[in-house]
Structure 1
């Protein structure tokens, strides 16, 4: 018989007695708010779909693989097993990031740079469209 203190490893998740999906939702929402990261940005950084993130943020105990929880934890600069620990224990084992505190700032800066690049690309398309239409340059 397996030791009850040993972390259970699942391939897929569904609601199981002893799992606290509401605690996962609270931890996820608090971390996203603290880091000022939205669903789209977290989806991009973690490789997890927005719909899966939305379900987790609402505490829905749908089927989610451990690797999904791990990817989200990594994107939020938590230890890999953080969300799994929250799910099984209902409380985080250490909510502060394990790495350099400056990583949070660098991650936010990277998101700003990505967004700025996207804006610059869109502006270039607008400028190209205007120049092709024969309108005089207004600069």
Structure 2
């Protein structure tokens, strides 16, 4: 099955224009690096992308999680309401992964706060 990355770039660029977003905003909202967003937006680097990347971009842009995957393969994107059990499971997995990262970051912050206090506060 052929992949149409130019169509993905066009869909993203049109949606970002509708939303009035810049590249950095999409990167922040999707948790996809600015470099990868730029490559996809400009269709400059053709390489295999994680399905999670397209899913994260789709969700950040307010679309069904499989929207950009469908565009990539020349299919009709599903309506936002057409979430399946598999879609929900994938989203839950992604949320769990993000929560694990947040938990690790919070633990680091707490550890740093404890070590930066004067000894009389301990």
Which TM bucket (shorter chain)? Answer: 0.5 to 0.7
1:47 matched to which residue of 2?
A: 31
Structure 2 CA distance, aligned partners of 1:46 and 1:70? 9
Q: Return the structure number with greater helix share.
A: 2
Instruction: Name the count of aligned residue pairs.
Output: 80
- Say whether residues 1:36 and 2:17 are aligned partners: no
Quote how far apart the aligned CAs of 1:92 are: 4.7
Structure 2 CA distance, aligned partners of 1:50 and 1:38? 10
Q: Larger radius of gyration, structure 1 or 2? A: 1
1:114 matched to which residue of 2?
A: none
Structure 1 CA distance, aligned partners of 2:21 and 2:54? 17
What are the ranges of 5 or more consecutive residues in structure 2 without an aligned counterpart?
Answer: 82-122
CA contact (8 A) 2:58 2:65 kept: yes
Structure 1 CA distance, aligned partners of 2:77 and 2:24? 27
Quote how far apart the aligned CAs of 1:84 are: 0.3
CA contact (8 A) 1:55 1:62 kept: no
What are the ranges of 5 or more consecutive residues in structure 1 without an aligned counterpart?
Answer: 1-16, 100-139
Q: Which has the higher contact order (CA 8 A, sep 6+)?
A: 1
Superposed CA RMSD: 1.8
Quote how far apart the aligned CAs of 1:33 are: 0.6
Within the candidate set 50, 54, 78, 2:63 is matched to: 78
